[in-house]
Amino acid sequence: MPERVPRTGPGRREPAEFDRDLDLRGIVAFGIGLALVMIVVLAIVWGLLGLFRAERAALDPPPSPLAEANRPRLPPEPRLQSAPREDMGRMRAAEEAVLESYGWVDRRAGIGRIPVERAIEILAHDGLPAVEPAAPSPPAASATGTAKAHPAKRAVPRRPRRTR
């Protein structure tokens, strides 16, 4: 175990003696020297930045003399929406108006739309229309002239769709 050294006694210095050992002139000179070095370094960096800016400006092409070339241009499509929530609200309102109203899809072909609720009522009352099976088609011949062993697929006639 280390021996304990007394705080006072022969060979020990008082705290006030330490203040006399400090070289105040050296500390002040170091601070002033540090400040001068910082000022010189900052001046060099500032000068270099000015030089770099001038070199960079010299590399830029001169502006076009045509006024049309300097006019701001729209970015290419697709562009960002300025008010996406309002756009979505208008789109949903337009879709709801189509789904909840009567109208023509193709007047010449006689195809119209009806509200979704009315279409559900009609289907619940009348049911789906029956599909008549088509006559089976003859089996297809292979490249060698023999008939395939696969059964013929049934063709289901399509009815015109009624859209909403």
Over residues 4-32, the pLDDT tens digits come to: 655 555 666 666 666 666 788 999 999 99
Which candidate, 15, 39, 19, 38, places its Cα nearest to that of 27? Answer: 19
Side chain identity at 32, as an amino acid letter?
I
Evaluate whether residue 111 is within a structural domain.
yes
Evaluate whether residue 150 is within a structural domain.
no
Kindly state the average pLDDT of the residues 124-141. 79
Which tokens sit at 25?
Answer: 């002139």
Evaluate whether residue 121 is within a structural domain.
yes
Evaluate whether residue 70 is within a structural domain.
no
Evaluate whether residue 11 is within a structural domain.
no
Kindly state the average pLDDT of the residues 28-44. 97
CA atoms within 13 A on the CB side of 4: 3
pLDDT at 37: 98
Mean pLDDT of the chain: 80
* Residues in Cβ contact with 129 at an 8 Å cutoff, skipping those fewer than 6 apart: 159
Distance CA 128, CA 134 (A): 18
Lowest mean pLDDT among 40-54, 65-79, 126-140, 143-157: 143-157
Evaluate whether residue 140 is within a structural domain.
no
Evaluate whether residue 116 is within a structural domain.
yes
- Angle (CA) 88 94 99, round 5°: 120
Evaluate whether residue 105 is within a structural domain.
yes
Backbone angles phi, psi at 80, to 5 degrees: -70, 150
- Domain final residue pick, 14, 35, 56: 56
Give the pLDDT band (50/70/90) at residue 75. Answer: confident
Which tokens sit at 37?
Answer: 């070095």
The more confident residue out of 35 and 84 is 35
Structural domains of the chain, count: 2
Euclidean distance between the first and the last CA atom of the chain, given in angstroms as a whole number? 98
pTM of the model: 0.32
Task: Provide the residue range defining the domain that includes 100.
Answer: 86-126
Give the β-pairing of 103-106 and 111-113: antiparallel
